[in-house]
Amino acid sequence: MNFGVIGYGYWGPNIVRNLMTLEGSQVCAIADLSPTARARAQKAYPGVTVTPNAAEVITSPEIDAIAVISPVWTHYELAKAALENGKHVFVEKPFTSTAAQGEELINLALRKNLKIMVDHTFLFTGAVRRIAQLIDQGELGSLYYYDSTRVNLGLFQHDINVLWDLAPHDLSIMDYLIKANPEGVVATGEGHLNGHEDVAYMTIYFPDRVIAHINVNWLSPVKVRTTLIGGEKRMLVWNDLEADEKVKIYDKGVQITNQEGVYKLLVNYRSGDMWSPQLEQVEALQQELSYFVDCVSAGKEPFNNGPAGLRVVKMLEAASQSLSKKGSLVYL
């Protein structure tokens, strides 16, 4: 399977490196507007066509799939052109700048019988796979809440705010784990430097009293990547910065055991062992790209497909709307 890659900035080289080592795939062409990016690409891969012209890559007849690794505001045009030229699309998250764009791309791919995969890399990590398995097996019981903090010092983006930059990770993981349709979104935040929010908070309401919260911040002196997930039976902490023991499951719980009238709730705390499962030690991006090649080859729809990307974009759109009113419930 032959790939063309559009965008060789921060993330593009990882895509190319993995596609190059993957059995059954290779990169034939790389496009980037920046001469220094092109020089880096050409030096690392002397045998690959490197060009400033994305259209040249997208229309090349030898190419089967396009990886769109460019800024979000370019996704729609590039992916659309790729699909129109009969190419499968692997596209960076967030999928598109608007839900309307995402819907159009999904329909186009359907009509053309092509695959879209949105690069929600975290879904392929050992940690998220293991957590998903635990939830699916009922180890946590009914979910109560999902609470993620993703903060560090860094202001990489000039065209989008911190929610569009960092929250797609959490939204895609949350969507994958909770497996329910969110009802509404509330977002608050503030920008201190260039007009875009650099500190933001997002609450997502789900049916059955499940609530999710995401704390993202470009102005934190320390890096935090911690998610708490509370369930009726057990609770877990996922700290992605731990070298080992990233996921810890606590045999703890709270239950109302006896309720004699509204003023006599008997709250029962349960506290037991903690357990940290060994996780698969695989490079998530390699797993994901290999899965993309499999899906395309077998004509199988990936679970991180266009609609999965669209669900994230819809939540981001709702969050932007809520943010603009300084926080207010926006129904989905």
Selected from 24, 61, 221, 261, the binder of a second copy by CB under 8 A is 221
Distance CA 7, CA 12 (A): 6
Site for a second copy, residues 247 to 286, rule: CB under 8 A = 248, 250-252, 254-256, 263, 265, 267, 269, 271-278
User: Rounded to the nearest whole angstrom, what is the least distance from the CB of residue 320 to a second copy in the complex?
Assistant: 15
By CB under 8 A, is residue 23 in contact with a second copy? Answer: no
Tokens 């933001």 belong to residue: 200
Residue 308: both structure tokens together: 């999965």
Closest CB to a second copy among residues 23, 273: 273
By CB under 8 A, is residue 298 in contact with a second copy? Answer: no
Distance of CA 249 to the CA centre of its chain: 23
User: Near a second copy by CB under 8 A, which window of 49-57, 118-126, 220-228, 307-315?
Assistant: 220-228
Angle of helix 35-44 relative to helix 12-21, nearest 10 degrees, comes to: 20
Beta carbons of 4 and 31 less than 8 angstroms apart:
yes
Element at 184 (helix H, strand E) = strand 184-190
User: Rounded to the nearest whole angstrom, what is the least distance from the CB of residue 184 to a second copy in the complex?
Assistant: 7
Selected from 35, 36, 137, 244, the binder of a second copy by CB under 8 A is 244
> In three state form, how does the secondary structure of 115-167 look?
CEEEECHHHHCHHHHHHHHHHHCCCCCCEEEEEEEEEEECCCCCCCCHHHHHH
Give the total of residues touching a second copy (CB under 8 A).
70
Beta carbons of 24 and 294 less than 8 angstroms apart:
no
By CB under 8 A, is residue 21 in contact with a second copy? Answer: no
Site for a second copy, residues 135 to 194, rule: CB under 8 A = 144-145, 147, 149, 151, 153-155, 158, 184, 186, 188-194
By CB under 8 A, is residue 223 in contact with a second copy? Answer: yes
By CB under 8 A, is residue 51 in contact with a second copy? Answer: no
Which residues have a Cβ under 8 Å from the Cβ of 53 and sit 6 or more positions away?
A: 31
By CB under 8 A, is residue 134 in contact with a second copy? Answer: no
The 10 Å Cβ neighbour count of residue 20 is 14
Contact residues: a second copy, CB under 8 A: 144-145, 147, 149, 151, 153-155, 158, 184, 186, 188-194, 198-199, 201, 203, 205, 209-211, 213, 215, 217-223, 228, 230, 234-237, 241, 243-245, 248, 250-252, 254-256, 263, 265, 267, 269, 271-278, 322, 325-329
